[in-house]
């Protein structure tokens, strides 16, 4: 009896999914890495070129002052500090969005992800331009908005499709609510004017 039930037990199998990714060439992977890290590479290259040029005309301590003083000033001034902070968040959001798309398997059957064209700050967070490849539509991204919000450390995420081309969608990462700022708070009621005393005329008796 055991010999008859053993094959039946081992014959049972649960359904499972095998996910494979295509093998891309090294030049293609290197080109993709350079495109994704273009902002970081541009900043590093610009810094190295500036340092190389300054050290040829100034001593080392002078070159350090020329580069260090403007950097510290930009971080100390509130306006420039907020500008740099928002730009850094825009780049970070683009990288985090790609990580979410990879983990959630938002790709076509050949394993190609949507192309993240650009990202920029907005008054409420960041906006990313996403170009959908063949086999991907906006619904694939819309059903993962909750994961995008949590993956980007934001409070919400929204998607909108451009009218001219449905393959180009805009992903808005919401970090702050503009209606919760000081400008949106209800104004204090204006003080009421003091009530004037009402004077009643006192009737006088005739002949008094």
**Residue 94, pLDDT above cutoff 90:** yes
User: Considering the entire predicted model, what is its pTM?
Assistant: 0.70
31 band by pLDDT with thresholds 50, 70 and 90: confident
pLDDT-derived band of residue 75, with 50, 70 and 90 as boundaries? Answer: confident
Q: What is the mean pLDDT of residues 93-105?
A: 92
Output 102 or 110, whichever has higher pLDDT: 102
Identify the residue with better confidence: 32 or 192.
32
Q: Which residue has the higher pLDDT, 78 or 110?
A: 78
The structural domains of the chain, with segments of one domain joined by +, span 77-178
CATH no. of 77-178 = 3.30.980
What does each C-alpha distance from 201 to 198, 204, 208 come to in angstroms? 10, 9, 16
46-68 average pLDDT score: 89
């Amino acid at each position: 009896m055991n010999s008859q039930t053993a094959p039946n037990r081992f014959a049972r199998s649960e359904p499972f999914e095998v996910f494979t990714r295509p093998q891309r060439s090294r030049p293609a992977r290197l080109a993709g890495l350079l495109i994704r890290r273009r902002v970081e590479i541009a900043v590093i290259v610009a810094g190295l070129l500036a340092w190389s040029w300054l050290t040829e005309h100034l001593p080392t301590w002078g070159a350090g002052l020329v580069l260090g003083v403007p950097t510290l000033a930009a971080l100390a001034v509130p306006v420039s500090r907020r500008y740099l902070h928002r730009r850094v968040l825009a780049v970070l959001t683009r990288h985090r969005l790609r990580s979410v798309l990879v983990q959630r398997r938002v790709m076509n059957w050949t394993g190609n992800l949507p192309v993240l064209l650009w990202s920029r700050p907005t008054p409420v967070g960041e906006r990313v331009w996403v170009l959908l490849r063949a086999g991907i539509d906006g619904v694939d991204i819309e059903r993962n908005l909750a994961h995008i919000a949590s993956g980007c450390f934001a409070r919400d995420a929204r998607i909108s499709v451009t009218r001219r081309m449905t393959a180009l969608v805009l992903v808005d990462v919401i970090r702050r609510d503009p209606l919760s700022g000081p400008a949106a708070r209800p104004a204090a009621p204006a003080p009421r004017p003091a009530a004037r005393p009402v004077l009643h005329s006192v009737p006088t008796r005739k002949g008094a």
